[in-house]
Amino acid sequence: ILEIKTTVICPATQKHVKKYLSQEMFLVEETGEDYLSTTLPYIESQSFSVQWVYNILEKKAEADRIVFEDPDPDTGFVLLPDFKWDQKQLDDLYLTAFVHQRNIKSLRDLTSDHLPLLRNISKKGKESIQKQYCMPACKVRVYLHYQPSYYHLHVHFTSLNYGLERAHLLTDVIMNLEADPQYYQNRTITYTLRADDNLLLRFREAGRC
Q: What amino acid positions are annotated as catalytic residues?
A: 154
C-alpha 166/C-alpha 106 separation (Å) is 12
* CA distance to 70, 93, 142, 170, per residue, from 135 (Å): 20, 9, 13, 18
Please, are residues 193 and 137 in contact by the beta-carbon 8 Å criterion? no
C-alpha 53/C-alpha 39 separation (Å) is 22
Q: First vs last Cα of the chain: how many Å apart?
A: 48
Helix (H) or strand (E) holding 80: strand 77-81
C-alpha 160/C-alpha 94 separation (Å) is 10
C-alpha 7/C-alpha 136 separation (Å) is 28
Please, are residues 78 and 63 in contact by the beta-carbon 8 Å criterion? no
137 Cβ contact partners less than 8 Å away, ≥ 6 residues apart: 126, 129, 130
